[in-house]
Structure 1
Amino acid sequence: MDQAIAKADTLIEAMGWIRRFRGKTTVIKLGGSLLEDEVAIQHLLLDVIFMESVGLRPVIVHGGGKAITQAMAEAGIEAKFVRGRRVTDEASLKVVEQVLAGELNVYIAEQMERYGGRAVNLSPRTTCVLHGRKLLDPDGTDLGFVGEVTSVDRDVIESLAYTDQVAVIPSLCHDEHGQLYNVNADTAAMAVAQSLGADKLVFLSDVNGVRRQADDPSSIIPAMSATEARELIASGVIQGGMIPKVEACLETLGRGVQKVHIIDGRLRHSLLLEIFTTDGVGTEIHA
């Protein structure tokens, strides 16, 4: 009986958050490393299904870096990067499109259906909702078919939400001539969140959030304002690979998204714990 009461208490705690976020859009960015972990993906997708079931409007945007690199190696194509962006020639683009649109996007949607949810894969092979242009590198380096998102078909995504379906979107965009481009998944998720006026953007990472000491998971900072985040970058507390993630969060907040979260997607039900509990499990950055 004590266990049953504890479960009821958990539901009561969640009720306030459910009422607060019901009808609000949450964009969830799935990273390539997580897509290699079938157990983690199962629990994350179950979390997304739960969110939709209680009235939230989740949207999934995903990359697939590790799977792309592996597929390129199998095809005898060497992976090259410039400041974290994959140089994408014509041969590489075919591999990127196959992995993101032909494999991972279909896999995510099918797994959601398998677990009882309703999902629609919005890719260049079905309905491409990300439109953009060739990305020009600041130092003039030609990155090939690498693009940036300039607009999002908001109506298509929202129409799915109105019919209780979850949009699953790969980080690919088309330009006005139909040319396909590879897009950084973080920036694609940012563009979708901004276009939809999302209440939340969640970056699922392989770390548990922003830490005061990079190598100490227990030093996680549960919440911070944009001003505090900038101060922590300037003081060197936020360092290394976490700097571009936090800067991306700050840019997103500056364009209308209310809150951005960085959480460890490998933790079982991390999405639900972050959104529907008082303490959360990651870092929330707010305006």
Structure 2
Amino acid sequence: MEDMKMEQYLNRANMLVEALPYIQRLFGKTIVIKYGGAAMLNEDLTQKILEDVTLLKFVGMNPILVHGGGPDINNMLKALKIEPKFIDGLRVTDDQTMQVVQMVLTGKINKEIVAKLNGMGASAIGLCGIDGNILKAVKAPPKNGIDLGNVGKITSINTTLLKTLAHDQYIPVIAPVATGDAGESYNINADTVAGEIATALEAEKLIFLTDTDGIRTNENDPESLLYVASKTDILNMIEDGKITGGMLPKVSGCLSAIDHGVKRAHILNGTIPHPIILEIFTDSGIGTMVTG
């Protein structure tokens, strides 16, 4: 029994040693994480993901968490008998839907995440794009000839505020609602927000946590996972119709970030325990890494 315990302790020690060079390399660096999808509906998975984020902060990195909330928004719309509509993974947002989006994202989900992080000993601060003009936007153009309603296109990001918070003791937790020049609110896809923030801050890493294990050449075949995908690979897959729907904003965010100086972009399965630690602190990593 004592030998078994010693072996367990040695395994833990070896894991810490394996993580050391990654901690050294990423110390003081900004890591933008987009969190959403099915993982948000599972308390145990949520706990483990937020433990990962807290760990990043305590070992000297600067995580910024951007969250979605599609399932919760859809549930509230259903309760109000409003039919959700999407175009290429983007939510069509009329005035009534915008009220629901803002209520659910900023009033419910954002504060739940902040409370959980603070309960782990972190100093999280909940924000949306309206606070401090973090996200300024204008109305997005039609998609495939369809007016998306109160969906915005980001025009500027208050990087000074985000850097001040992230480089201090705080973990910024951002709901993807932006503001216009006249004070109007815009719904922004959370994947897009994460990509834009990572770009503006020249983040070291951009991580998307999704419901799948990454980019597949055949979405129905887990064995077709691409561990590394280049810009050319992704553009070809989009053209061939192999990347569609909700994955489009994620890969677009990755490509934009890589084009504008972000060192690494990752698409990971957020429905497995501790996906961020597995990606950042292990030699093998998981999911798909997007390169230029």
Fold similarity call, TM over 0.5: yes
Residue 122 (str. 1) matches residue 132 (str. 2): no
Partner of 2:201: 196
Q: Please, what TM-score do these two structures have when normalized by structure 1?
A: 0.93
Match of 1:159 in 2: 164
| Identity score, percent | 38
Q: Does 1:181 align with 2:220?
A: no
Contact 1:64–1:99 (CA under 8 A) maintained in structure 2 = yes
Give the alignment of 1:1-287 within 5 angstroms: 1-123=6-128, 126-231=131-236, 236=240, 238-241=242-245, 242=247, 245-287=250-292
Aligned equivalents of 2:289, 2:59: Cα separation in 1: 22
Q: CA deviation at 1:163?
A: 1.8
Determine the C-alpha separation between the residues in 2 that align with 1:38 and 1:128.
Answer: 31
Q: SS state of the match for residue 122, structure 1?
A: strand
Unaligned runs of 5+ in 2: 1-5
Instruction: Report the equivalent of 2:3.
Output: none
2:31 is paired with a residue whose SS is: strand
Please say if residues 69 and 79 of structure 1, whose CA atoms lie closer than 8 Å, have aligned partners that are also in contact.
yes
CA contact (8 A) 2:129 2:176 kept: no
Q: CA deviation at 1:117?
A: 1.3
CA contact (8 A) 1:122 1:128 kept: no
How well do the aligned residues superpose, as a CA RMSD in angstroms?
2.0
For structure 1, the residue ranges without an aligned partner over 5 or more in a row are none
Deviations 1:62-87 (A, max 9, x none): 11111111111212222222333222
State the secondary structure of the residue aligned to 1:186.
helix
Displacement of 1:244: 5.1
Query: Cα distance 1:101–1:244, how it changes in 2: closer, same or farther (>3 A)?
Result: closer
Measured after TM superposition, the shift of residue 112 of structure 1 is: 0.3
Q: Distance in 2 between matches of 1:29 and 1:107?
A: 16
Equivalent position amino acid for 1:171 in 2: P
Please state how far the C-alpha of 1:282 moved relative to its aligned partner: 1.0
Q: For 1:268 and 1:50, how far apart are their aligned partners in 2?
A: 14
Aligned in 2, Cα 1:124/1:257: closer, same or farther, shift over 3 Å?
A: closer
CA distance in 2, matches of 1:268, 1:84: 26
Instruction: Answer yes or no: is the 8 Å Cα contact 1:202–1:263 preserved in 2.
Output: yes
Secondary structure in 1 aligned to 2:153? strand
- Asked if 2 retains the 8 angstrom alpha-carbon contact of 1:25 and 1:58, the reply is yes
CA contact (8 A) 1:72 1:92 kept: yes
Worse-matched range after superposition: 30-39 or 218-227: 218-227
Count of matched residue pairs = 286
Partner SS, residue 52 of structure 1: helix
Instruction: Letter of the 2:57 partner, please give it.
Output: E
Rounded to whole Å, the distance in 2 between the matches of 1:121 and 1:25 is 18
